[in-house]
Amino acid sequence: MWSPNKSEKAAVPEGLRPIVKDRFQKEVLQTCCSKFKGYMVLIVDDFSTPIISSCVGMYNLMESRVSLVENLKKKRAPYRQSAAIYFLSPTHDSVDNLIADWTPSKTRKQPLYADTVFLYFTSILSDDLLKKIKVCKPLVKRLKALNELNIDFITNEIRAFHLDMSSSFASLFQFDGRAEVAIADKLVTLCASLHEYPHIRYKASSQLCSSLASIFNRKLTDYIGKNERWWYHGDSAHIDRGRATLLLLSRADDCLSPLMHEFTYQAMVVDLLDVEKDKITYTAQATGTTANDGSAIDTISKDALLNDDDELWVELRGKHIADVVQILSNRIREIVNSDTGVALSSKGDQTNALTINQLSNALKTLPEYREVMSKLTQHMNMAHRCMDIFNRQNLMELSELEQTLSTGKTEDGKTPKLSNLVSQVEISLKGMIDPLMRFRLLAIFVVSQRGLKPSDQNLLMSAARLNPSHAKALNNLKLLGIPTVKAMNSGSRISNRSKRLVSNYNESDSEYASSRFACELKAILEEMQDNKLSLEEFPSILPMPYQSVNSTGADANRMSTSVRSSGSRFNTRSSTIDAGTKVSGARQIIFVAGGACYSELRCARDLTNKGGLETILGCTHFVNPKQFISDLSSL
């Protein structure tokens, strides 16, 4: 494995995604360019494709003389003058296809590529697969590189990753052990890439987290034992920052957050709009475009990627939707008014949000600003689509009911009687047309109140009119430790506590009443940041140090075993956008088995942006409400 010298270490960028990009460019592209002077072809498989596409763009590849990216499984045309760079997952299927590329057959006598092959794997190559490769003499004699990159995760944001394991939910919560092993293997590659040998902590009450912590510790120890040259932050030769802490959590720890309606921009987009692997289709101005009959076309559909390469998306994704619309409107008005003096057709209040038609007019009037205006229009289009759904589904009124159920208090701080809320929920359920919306509200009630009272069960279930899939998903909450019906006490009466809302969830510091609820992870991160996270609730595989040292050499806060307080708050400062944040000290790596939601991603991002320790959030897969409900029904 590549080990940077001092000058190289100083140049390594902040954040996980830039580190992965930097590693791929140095360890793969630069190496290949130095050994082959012509053009090259990059061959990937289904597993490695999203890994490479999440951090390296086609422009970066072209700069390194990679002229084409091809899929290993598909039929490919020969490029005899181009060297082959293989970036593959270490599976029997991929190795067999690799060998087939270099084994003469009746249909192909000559190899597809030049006599120079660079072979890289996402993670550790097993001995039996290595033997397969060695037997293929035509391949071996052309090999100029054979390395395990240890990049078996997808960096979808600067400090966020997932393992592309959306199908692992059933395996994890049926405890068959297969998913834990796969997760542990992938997390080893994460730590190898970050040069981290973390303290491993986990939720003590979670069987899944306990098992995963043990498996991961064993696999990481094995990796370190086999790689003597590998180093980690916090060892005697690398004291610029302390050892990281990896906290393992389970989706079962908080089933409420993925169900709630969130009104920050990113959360609304992935909840309400059609986003597929960070790609979204939007309506754009079609300047100079004509139809087959010669008539002018005003708008066309375009695809856009919502990732860190979109600076406007990075800036806006964590803001409340109301602020997003206002910011976009103001910026478009500034361009229109200050740079051309051309007024929009609307002469109303300058603070009013622009309509899509007004944006189209502005775009036609300002061709010199078309690229900037196009990006602003893209996001305004998305924001308006979110607001249209928000108004059509009456989410403002629904959110107040959700927030009261989840926090246990109304907007004015009062604690209502549960019987009154049951009536409100029943009325809302009866008036909802969308079956997914009905399930979400009923599930929020069940999760936040730790089950339905037997006397309310038939009433609310009848009003919810759940389809078989949603009924199964609701019942499967029990497999995650959440009762769907409250237990009767020995006197066959409901506990007095059930007469009022019983939520123990935290409230956020948002100025918007529709965003009072804060996910459970927020409090955990804050206490982890201050070294106050309970060692009883969140023990460590090995003893935690009594104190740690940050990059400046000053003593950090000492480790406390105090029980977690739901009232803890992080002292916020003015935030900066993700890409510009400078961080120091030991990293906090959080991994949520079973999927993380976007409110949790925002909390982790905010903690770093507001001056906290660098916090990296990872998971098996990121979930919107629809995905989480689908996961529940898969059990």
Kindly report, residue by residue over 113-125, the tens digit of the pLDDT: 999 999 999 999 9
Nearest to 421 by CA among 512, 513, 503: 503
Half-sphere exposure (Cβ direction) of 413: Cα atoms closer than 13 Å: 0
CATH topology identical between 6-151 and 155-256+517-633: yes
Q: What is the pLDDT of residue 317?
A: 97
Q: What is the pLDDT of residue 374?
A: 82
Q: Which residue has the higher pLDDT, 140 or 284?
A: 140
Residue 46 has pLDDT above 70, yes or no: yes
Q: What is the pLDDT of residue 566?
A: 34
CATH of domain 6-151: 3.40.50.2060
Give the global pTM: 0.86
Average pLDDT over the chain reads: 85
Mean pLDDT value of segment 272-291: 77
Q: What is the pLDDT of residue 291?
A: 54
CATH of domain 155-256+517-633: 3.40.50.1910
Residue 248 burial by Cβ neighbours in a 10 Å radius (0-12, 13-18, 19+): buried
CATH of domain 265-392: 3.90.830.10
CATH of domain 394-499: 1.25.40.60
66 contacts 42 by C-beta, under 8 angstroms: yes
Kindly report, residue by residue over 455-497, the tens digit of the pLDDT: 999 999 999 999 999 999 999 999 999 999 987 653 333 333 3
Kindly report, residue by residue over 251-265, the tens digit of the pLDDT: 999 999 999 999 999
In one-letter notation, the amino acid at residue 261 is H
Q: What is the pLDDT of residue 573?
A: 28
CB within 8 Å of 491: residues ≥ 6 apart: none
Q: Which residue has the higher pLDDT, 489 or 571?
A: 489
- Ordered by start, the domain boundaries in the chain are 6-151, 155-256+517-633, 265-392, 394-499
Residue 161 has pLDDT above 70, yes or no: yes
Instruction: Collapse the DSSP code of 147 into the 3-class scheme (helix H, G, I; strand E, B; otherwise coil) and give the result.
Output: strand
Residue 570 has pLDDT above 50, yes or no: no
Residue 9 has pLDDT above 50, yes or no: no
Mean pLDDT value of segment 143-150: 96
Edge-to-edge strand list for the sheet holding 245-250: 154-157, 160-162, 615-619, 588-593, 245-250, 199-202
Percent of the chain with pLDDT over 70: 81
